[in-house]
């Protein structure tokens, strides 16, 4: 276990490990991302994955305020992963996947962030976020997907001995 993994005490430590550019190797990202669209069926306690993408190149930036967690996923403007991610999200936002209260079907977008330096032991995940496509700088082409989650829908987790732990408050719990 490397020293960075040992030094993780809070959610903020996990997010700091995932966000920004790798200073030693700027061409390598600090995190991997899993982007999924799902339909949750609460009546049958099941889920159907509509689509998913694993992303290895974007730069992540996270900011939490009193109500929301904002996660920017920044690509190169012409990156095929950016184009495919946008297409996946847009196709999910169609009437066929809309909320169906009568049948208990709930559409969700799930964003999972895995900091590379934390060796898969910690990750952050948000469910039910809103998203928008935007440029990372004024007067540029869109190159960023901004996700906004309610704070109660975005958490940091630790995998420990085949057990997934949800930290209390904003502290990452050590496993038993």
Token pair 């196709």 in the structure block, residue: 91
As a whole number of angstroms, the distance between CA 42 and CA 96 comes to 17
- b (16+ CB within 10 A) / e for 63-73: ebeeebbebbb
3-state class (DSSP) for residue 66: coil
What is the H or E stretch that residue 162 is in? none
Tens-of-pLDDT digits for all 176 residues of the chain? 566 666 788 888 999 999 998 888 877 889 999 999 999 998 888 999 999 999 998 999 999 999 999 999 999 888 999 999 999 999 999 999 999 888 889 999 999 999 999 988 899 999 999 999 999 999 999 999 999 999 999 999 988 755 555 554 444 444 43
pTM of the model: 0.86
User: Which are the contacts of 135, defined by CB distance < 8 A and separation ≥ 6?
Assistant: 141, 142, 143, 144
Q: How far is CA 75 from CA 60, 108, 138, in A?
A: 9, 23, 15
Q: Where are the domains of the chain?
A: 3-165
């Amino acid at each position: 276990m490397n020293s960075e993994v040992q030094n993780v005490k809070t959610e903020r430590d996990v997010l700091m490990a995932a966000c920004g550019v790798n200073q030693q190797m700027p061409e390598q990202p600090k995190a991997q991302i899993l982007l999924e669209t799902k339909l949750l069926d609460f009546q049958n306690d099941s889920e159907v994955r509509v689509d998913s993408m694993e992303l290895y190149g974007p730069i992540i930036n996270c900011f939490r305020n009193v109500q929301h967690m904002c996660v920017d996923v920044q690509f190169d403007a012409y990156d095929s992963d950016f184009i495919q991610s946008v297409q996946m999200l847009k196709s999910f936002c169609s009437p066929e996947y809309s909320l169906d209260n009568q049948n208990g079907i709930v559409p969700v977008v799930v964003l999972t962030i895995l900091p590379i330096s934390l060796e898969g032991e910690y990750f952050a995940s948000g469910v039910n976020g809103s998203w928008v496509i935007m440029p990372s700088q004024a007067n540029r082409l869109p190159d960023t997907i901004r996700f906004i989650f309610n704070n109660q829908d975005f958490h940091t987790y630790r995998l420990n001995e085949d057990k997934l732990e949800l930290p209390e408050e904003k502290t990452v719990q050590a496993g038993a």
